[in-house]
Amino acid sequence: MPDSDPLKNIRIVLCETSHPGNIGAAARAMKTMGLAKLHLVKPERFPDAEADWLAARATDVLKRAHVHDTLDAALHGVAFAVACTARTREIAVPQLNAREAAARVVEVARAQTAALVFGNETYGLTTDEVNKCRVLATIPANPRYSALNLAAAVQIFAYELRIAARGDEVHTFEPELAAHQDIEAFYLHLETLMAEVGFLNPRHPKKLMPRLRRLFARARLQPEEVNLLRGIFKALSRPRKQ
């Protein structure tokens, strides 16, 4: 029975990984984005101390990882498998970018199990492995150097999956803004002070106030900031002995 959280229904499948450190780093990348299901097809060394080391506090993902002899076994029960690569390929599988693929995977994973399949560090996915997947997904990369580290590729896909499942989630902090009349009083205060010290000529004000208005409008002043600025201007312009 699939979980109601689509991220819980997504497997990361690593095929024939050579370096256990990459398995650990991939586990860490997964956990940072809320993925937990790791499946390994014929890893060269696993479990391994180096994998644990690079997993940092994601060793729980490693502990619950499944090891398989074949990709077919790793994809058992999977409704939608995506072959993930940084290279573009001459294969007649439908090709998507990572973002589009993540959206499709999350859609499927709301009701069924989906999988992202990654190849060996050196030679990538074999044609056979790609052909066992429904689509091929590519990370847009520098055409002259597209060799993402395995865990880095897992990180990008996991990140796109999280955004597809949860939205952008970072809530922009929106503080209280100062009221119109207080901003206007601030401008008037500033204008008066500048006239007093001769910085502004009331007969030829030029574009001084409009420029300051634009500047402070962009700052989207908060109430206590208006008070702070008024306090500073007042303190600065207080007559002092020469």
If one asks whether residue 231 binds a second copy (CB under 8 A), the answer comes out as yes
If one asks whether residue 18 binds a second copy (CB under 8 A), the answer comes out as no
Q: Residues 38 to 67: which contact a second copy by CB under 8 A?
A: 56-58
Kindly list the strands in the beta sheet with 114-118, ordered across the sheet, starting from the edge strand earlier in the chain: 66-68, 37-41, 10-15, 114-118, 80-85, 135-138, 95-97
Q: Tokens representing 187? A: 């401008």
Nearer to a second copy, 74 or 86 (CB): 86
- In the bound complex, what is the minimum distance in angstroms from residue 69's beta carbon to a second copy? 30
User: What is the torsional sign of CA 160, 161, 165, 166?
Assistant: negative
Q: Residues 157 to 186: which contact a second copy by CB under 8 A?
A: 159, 162-163, 166, 168-173, 175
Residue 121 burial by Cβ neighbours in a 10 Å radius (0-12, 13-18, 19+): middle
If one asks whether residue 33 binds a second copy (CB under 8 A), the answer comes out as yes
If one asks whether residue 140 binds a second copy (CB under 8 A), the answer comes out as yes
Separation between Cα atoms, residue 148 and residue 171, nearest integer Å: 30
Q: Residues 117 to 136: which contact a second copy by CB under 8 A?
A: none
Nearer to a second copy, 12 or 190 (CB): 190
Separation between Cα atoms, residue 116 and residue 130, nearest integer Å: 11
Using the rule CB under 8 A, give the single segment among 9-17, 109-117, 126-134, 142-150 that binds a second copy: 142-150
Separation between Cα atoms, residue 24 and residue 21, nearest integer Å: 5
If one asks whether residue 138 binds a second copy (CB under 8 A), the answer comes out as yes
If one asks whether residue 236 binds a second copy (CB under 8 A), the answer comes out as yes
Nearer to a second copy, 205 or 231 (CB): 231
Using the rule CB under 8 A, give the single segment among 41-49, 68-76, 106-114, 234-242 that binds a second copy: 234-242
If one asks whether residue 28 binds a second copy (CB under 8 A), the answer comes out as yes
Q: Site for a second copy (CB under 8 A): which residue of 116, 117, 156, 178?
A: 156
Nearer to a second copy, 68 or 159 (CB): 159
Site string for a second copy, 78-117 (x = CB under 8 A): --------x-x---x-xxxx-xx-----------------
Q: Site for a second copy (CB under 8 A): which residue of 80, 118, 186, 216?
A: 216
| Residues sharing a CB contact under 8 Å with residue 151, sequence separation 6 or more, in sequence order | 22, 25, 26, 28, 29, 54
Q: 123-131 long-range CB contacts below 8 Å, 24 or more apart?
A: 124/85, 124/87, 125/15, 125/83, 125/84, 125/85, 127/91, 129/15, 129/71, 129/83, 130/83, 130/85, 130/89, 130/91, 130/93, 131/91, 131/93
